[in-house]
Structure formats: C-alpha cells, structure tokens
A and B are shown apart, each in its own frame.
Chain A
Amino acid sequence: DGGITQSPKYLFRKEGQNVTLSCEQNLNHDAMYWYRQDPGQGLRLIYYSQIVNDFQKGDIAKGYSVSREKKESFPLTVTSAQKNPTAFYLCASSTDRGVRTDTQYFGPGTRLTVL
C-alpha cells in the first residue's frame, strides 16, 4: 500500500518543550512539504524539500526545523521558539518535475496541542 504516514495522530506538549512530528512516504516522491492548518483557515507552508539533504523555508518557518536525511522521511520539529504551536500539521509529497505544479498527496495529519 503506497502512501504517506504521519505520527502521532494526536500530540500534547507542555510549553517550552520541543516536539518532533514524523512523516514517512513510500511513493518514491522527491518533494516533501509541511503545512500548518489553523481552525477554519487554509494551509500555510512551513518548510519544503525537493531533494535529500536540501530544504527551504516556507512562509511561516520561524520556530520550526526540519531534516531530510532520507528520501522517504521528512520530520518536523516544533521548537519552544514557536509561540503559538497548537494547530493541525499536514505533511505532503509530490513528484518533482521542475516548473510544473504536481499533485500534492497528503498524510492524515498530526493535531498538536500545547497545554
């Protein structure tokens, strides 16, 4: 079964703690993305990676960090510097064919709540 998995589904964090959200894909996609969704709002891009060992900041990267050591994996760390981290986090992947915008395949998401 091909797809994207995210874990955990629900995550609770105390203020001041760093947490890491997992994202794994077996679609053999080159590009991976992290989005943040707040209630009743659209998707905002946090970070994206087009190839292993390379990633770029999106529109709201402050307080987040990522790594891309393997093609299949793109974990997101929410650091204590992120002042309002409670949100729904979505990971996505797509084939990288250059300029053309490819379909984004999303994982089921992680709901992060700061206590």
Chain B
Amino acid sequence: GQQVMQIPQYQHVQEGEDFTTYCNSSTTLSNIQWYKQRPGGHPVFLIQLVKSGEVKKQKRLTFQFGEAKKNSSLHITATQTTDVGTYFCAGPGGYQKVTFGTGTKLQVIP
C-alpha cells in the first residue's frame, strides 16, 4: 500500500530560525494536504496542493508540491513559539481515504 514518509521526525529550532519538513510518497499523488496538530490538540487542516510544482503561501508558511507529485515540503520562515506542534502531510489512500504521513514534531526554543 501507499506509504507517506516525513523527515525529520523531530526538529528543535531557536525562535526566529527557519524550519522545513519534507514529505515523500512511494507513489504519485493526485493531491497532498497539510495539517497541524498543537500539543494536546487535534489535527487542523492547513492547505491542499493539487498541481505539479504548485507553491502556496500562508503568511510565514510556504507549501510546495514536487514536479513529479511524489514529494512535498512545508517551510516556515522565522519561527515563532506559536508554530510549535506536529505537522502532518496526507495523501489519498484509496476511495475517500487519506493516508497520513508520520509527522514532524517542531519545538521552538524562545
């Protein structure tokens, strides 16, 4: 079955530094989604990418979908303590199913 891997598993950054998490799929994806889960909370949808090479921005967050549609990245510029949490990518896992990546846990040191 489809696997969606994320690296790194954990990342500690000093506040103000940049952060990037990478998502890699074993198969071509029709689309990819990104979610954020705050500590003790539940995942919240951030964005969906559909087109090959697509880049979308949300304030300090930049999302990119690879040309081959098998990988994606999330880049945060100048991290803040409010960015703390686990970031998941998710791809189609069959009819109306979603396969979540393993997640990257971000810790921001003030």
The one of A40, A58, A100, A103 in contact with B45, judged by C-beta atoms closer than 8 angstroms, is A103
B105 and chain A: residue at smallest CB distance: A40
Interface residue SS majority, chain A? loop
Inter-chain CB contacts under 8 Å: number = 60
Q: Please report which residues of chain A, range 92-115, place their CB below 8 angstroms from some CB of chain B when the two chains form the complex.
A: 94, 96, 98-109
Q: Mark B77-110, 1 if CB is under 8 A from A, else 0.
A: 0000000000010111101111011110100000
Q: Please report which residues of chain A, range 65-115, place their CB below 8 angstroms from some CB of chain B when the two chains form the complex.
A: 90, 94, 96, 98-109
User: Which chain A residues lie closer than 8 Å to B88 at the CB level?
Assistant: 42-43
Q: How far is the CB of B65 from chain A (nearest CB, A)?
A: 13
Contact B41 A94 (CB under 8 A): no
Chain A contacts to B: CB under 8 angstroms = 31, 33, 35, 40-43, 45, 48, 50, 58, 90, 94, 96, 98-109
Which 8 pairs between the two chains have the least Cβ-Cβ distance?
Answer: A106-B42, A43-B100, A101-B92, A42-B102, A103-B45, A42-B100, A42-B103, A106-B43
